[in-house]
Structure 1
Amino acid sequence: MGFLDVVFCTFVVVVFIQVLIYIFLFGKFAFLKQEKKTLSNIPVSVIICAKNEAKNLKVFLPLIIEQDYTNFEIVLINDGSQDKTLKVMQHFAKVHPNIKIVDVKPIEAFWGNKKYALTLGIKASKNDFLLFTDADCKPLSNQWIREMSSHFSDEKSIVLGYGAHSKIKKSFLNKLVRFETLTTAINYFSFAKAGIPYMGVGRNLAYAKKDFFDANGFISHIKVHSGDDDLFVNQVANENNTSICFSEESFTESNPKTSFKDWFKQKRRHVSTANHYKKKHKIFLGLIYITQFLFWFSTLIIFFALYKWPIVFSLFLLRIISQYIVLGYSAKKLNENDLIAFFPFLEIFLISAQLTIFINNLISKPNYWK
C-alpha cells in the first residue's frame, strides 16, 4: 500500500468519525429545544472575584445589582488588588445592603491562587445556591439570575451557562476568539446532554454550596492555579446532577482579548488545565481534536495529488455540510450567526493555534491568575 493509499484510508475513516461526532454528539445540543422551567425565587449568592478590576466593576456591577430578582446577595471578593478595586466595592456596598465584601489579603502559601480567594468568598456567602461570573463580565439581560437559577431542582445542582465575548467589527482575531468560545460551549453543552459533563466556564456557572463542601472545595486541585471553574465541574458533575441553560436572557458577555499575544497566553493556561481532566474526558476531547487535524491534513495532501478526487470531494462535502448544519444551528442558539460563513477558515486557524499552544506548553509552563 502506497503513501497516498494510506492517506486516503485515513481520510475516509476520519470523515466517518467526524460525521458521527457532529450528528450524534454535537447534535444533542444543536437540535435541542430549551426547556421552559418554572421560574422560582430561591435565595442565590452571586460570587464575583476581582483582582485589579476597579474600572470593570464600575461598569458591570450595576447590571448585576439591577437584576429582576428579589432574593439574592452579591459577594464581592477583593483578591489582593493594588488598584482602587476595594474602594469601588465599598462605594457600592454603602448604597446596596445586599452586597457583602470579602477582602482577601495575599499570603505566601496561596500567592496568586484565585481558588483560595474564591473559597473564602463561598464560605462567607449566606445562601445555598451560588452563581458565578467574572468582574469583567456583564449579564445581557436583567433576567440572568432568574434564568440560571430556574434550572436548579432536587436532582440538578450544577447549571452550565454560556459566557459570550463581545463583537468587534472587521476583526479576524475577534471572530477567532468567539469561534473558539462557541465551539467550547458546544462541546460542554453536548457532553452534558450525553451524560458526560466535563467542564463549565466561570463567566457563567452555578452550583449548590453543598456540592462545594461535599467535594472539600478545590482541595483536590488546589496546586493547579487555574481551573476553579472547569476542574471543579470536571470533578463534581455527573449525568444526574448537571443541567444546561442557553436561553438568550441567561448569557453573560465579556470583552475579548484584542491582541494575538494576549489571547495566546490565555489559551495556554486553559489548555494546561485540561491536562487534569478525567481520563475519559481527555480521550474524547483528544479524539475530536485529532480527527479534526487529520481531516484537514489528509484533505490537503489528497487534493494536491488529485488522488481519487471525485470520492474525496464527495466525502469532503459530507463532512463540511454536517459541520455547517450542526454548528449553524448551535451558533443561532448562542447568537453567533455572523460566524457561520467563516467556519472552515476559523477551524483551520484554531487547530493550528491549538497545536502551537500544545507544543509551547511542553516547553514551558504558562502564567496564571494575574
Structure 2
Amino acid sequence: MESFLKSIDWWLILFCAFCVVAFVQLLYYWILFRRVAWYQAPVRGNTQTHPVSIIICARDEAGNLGRNLAGVLVQTYTSTHEVIVVNHNSQDETRFLLEEFRKTFKSLNAVNLSQEAKGISGKKYPLSIGIKEAKHEVLLLTDADCVPASEYWVQKMQDAYGPGIEVILGYGSYYKRPGLLNRLIRFETFHSALQYFSFALAGMPYMGVGRNLSYKKGLFFSNKGFSSLNNVPGGDDDLFINKVATPTNTAIVLDPEAFTLSEPKKTWGQWLRQKNRHFTTGKYYKPKHKFFLGLYSFTHFLFYPLFVVSLIWFDWRLALGIFAVRTISQAIVYYKSMSRLNEKDLFAWWWLLDIWMFIYYCIFAPALWKKPKKNWA
C-alpha cells in the first residue's frame, strides 16, 4: 500500500483538479452569469400602471426615515399608490416623525404596533401586518435605510409585471464611499446579485433582497404568508422568495432608475454581524439551489490555491494558460455585469476583490452551520 501511494503523481492529480475547477467556473460564467452581462429587458408595447402598495417596516428608524422616506413619497407615478410604514414598537421619535410626514403626504399610512409577536422573530410579523393593511394587489417592499435611486422607481419596478408574473426582483445597491470596506461591501453585494439574477434568468430563482422586492398580495396569502418560516430568524425576503418563486412567475429589473440605495455599514464589526446573520438562512434553501450555489462557491474557493500549487509544482505554462482563460472570461462577464448594475468603478479592483473572496468564504462559511440569532433586522 505504501509503495502504491508513493507511485501516485500527486501533483498531476492536483493539476487535474485545478483543470476541473477552472472548467466548472467557466461553465458558470458562460452559461449562467452571462445572462446578466448581456441582459436585454423585454420590449413592452405599453407602459403599465398598476395600483401599488409600498411597505416599509421600521423599528427605531427615525434617523433613516427622516433622510429617506421623502424619496419614496415623492415618486412620479400616475396611478393609485400608497406608502405603508409599519412602526414596530419603536422607542425613538419614529411615531412623531410619521405624524409630521402625514400632514404633508396623504398617501402615507402609518401603522403603529406596540406589541411583540411570540414565536415570530425578525420583520415577519410587522411585514405581515403591513401586507394585510395594503389596499392593492401589487406590493413593493423596501427598508427604512433605503432610498430609491430615482423618482421612477415605482414605475420601473411595477412595469415588469406581465401575464403570470407574481415576483419582481430588484437591485439594492450601496452608496459609493471612500475606503476598502466600502469596496468590499459593494463587491459582495454585486457578486450576490450576479448570482440571484442569473439563476432567476436561468429559471431557478432562489432569493430576493428586502431592500428592493415586489410580489403579489395574493401570492403571499395563498402561501399562508410566513407561517412556514416563523421559526427561522430572518428569511422574510430570501426564504420567502425561495419558497414561492418559480421559473414562470418571476421577473427581474436591471434598470438603474429602479435601484435603491443604502448607506453601507461603517465598521468591520457591523458588517461581519450583518453577513453572518444573512448566511444563516442559506441552509434552508431548496436542495437544488444549495447544490448549484455550493458548487460555484466551492470551485471559486479552490481555484486560487490549486492555481498556486499547479504553478509551482507542475507545468507553469499550462497553469498560466488555464488561469488566463478563466480570468479573461471572468473579466469580460464582470465588466459587462458591473456596467449593467452601475458598479463600473469596481472593475479596476475586481481581480483583487476576487482573490479576497477566498478569505470571505473562510470567514463566513461557518455561519451556514450556526443557529441563527433572533435579531429584528
TM-score (norm 2): 0.94
- The alignment covers a number of residue pairs equal to 368
- Going from structure 1 to structure 2, the CA distance change for 1:363 and 1:191 (only over 3 Å counts) comes to closer
Give me the whole-angstrom Cα distance separating, in 1, the residues matched to 2:117 and 2:258: 38
With over 3 angstroms needed to count, the CA separation of the structure-2 counterparts of 1:304 and 1:106, relative to structure 1, is farther
One-letter code aligned to 1:333: R
Q: Does the 8 Å CA contact 1:39/1:147 hold for their aligned counterparts? A: no
1:219 is matched with which residue: 227, 241, 249?
Answer: 227
Residues 112, 88 of structure 1: CA spacing in aligned structure 2 closer, same or farther, 3 A cutoff? farther
Aligned to 2:75: 67
Residue 247 of structure 2 corresponds to residue 236 of structure 1: no
Whether 1:121 aligns to 2:158 is: no
- In the alignment, is residue 79 of structure 1 matched against residue 95 of structure 2? no
Aligned to 2:356: 349
Q: Does 1:254 align with 2:262?
A: yes
**In structure 1, distance between residues paired with 2:141 and 2:327:** 36
Q: For 1:67 and 1:351, how far apart are their aligned partners in 2? A: 41
Counterpart of 1:289 in structure 2: which amino acid?
Answer: S
Unaligned runs of 5+ in 2: 1-7
**One-letter amino acid of the structure 1 residue matched with residue 177 of structure 2:** I
Q: Matches of 1:270 and 1:69 in 2, distance apart?
A: 33
Preserved CA contact (<8 Å) 2:280 2:371: no
Which residue of 2 is the match for residue 368 of structure 1?
A: 375
User: Which residue number in structure 2 is paired with residue 175 of structure 1?
Assistant: 183
SS at match of 2:168: strand
SS in 2 for 1:256: coil
Partner of 1:268: 276
Which of 323, 326, 329 is equivalent to 1:316?
323
| CA–CA distance in structure 2, aligned partners of residues 367 and 2 of structure 1 | 50
Q: Which residue of 1 aligns with 2:198?
A: 190
Q: Indicate the SS of the match to 1:314.
A: helix
Residues 1:329 and 2:336 are matched in the alignment:
yes
Shift in Å, 1:105 = 2.1
Structure 1 residues 301-357: Cα deviation after superposition (integer angstroms, max 9, x where no partner): 22233x211111000000001111111100000110111122221122233123222
User: Deviation of residue 112 (structure 1)?
Assistant: 4.5
Counterpart pick for 1:95 among 79, 83, 104: 104
> 2:121·2:374 contact (CA, 8 Å) conserved in 1?
no
Alpha-carbon distance in structure 1 between the residues aligned to 2:120 and 2:282: 22
Aligned-pair CA distance for 1:106: 2.7
For the structure 1 residues 149 and 271, does the alpha-carbon distance in structure 2 shift closer, same or farther, using more than 3 Å as the test? same
CA distance in 2, matches of 1:179, 1:98: 36
Residue of structure 2 in register with 1:19 after alignment:
26
Secondary structure in 1 matching 2:214: strand
Q: Identify which of 163, 171, 190 aligns with 1:162.
A: 171
- Tell me how far 1:124 sits from its aligned partner: 0.5
The structural deviation recorded for 1:362 is 3.8
- CA deviation after TM superposition for structure 1 residue 360, in Å: 5.1
1:294 paired to 2:302:
yes
Matching residue's letter, 2:93: K
1:303/1:162 CA distance change after superposition, 3 Å: same
Aligned partners of 1:44 and 1:127 also within 8 Å: yes
| Counterpart in the other structure of 1:39 | 47
Paired amino acid for 1:298: L
Query: 1:132 is aligned with what amino acid?
Result: L
User: What is the CA RMSD across the aligned residues, in angstroms?
Assistant: 1.4
Which of the numbers 127, 136, 159 marks the counterpart of 1:150? Answer: 159
1:28 is matched with which residue? 35
String of CA shifts for 1:177-204, please: whole Å, max 9, x gaps.
0011001111111101100100010000
Distance 1:48 1:283, change over 3 A: same
Q: Report the equivalent of 2:3.
A: none
**Cα pair 1:176 1:350 within 8 Å, conserved:** no
2:212 to 186, 204, 215: 204
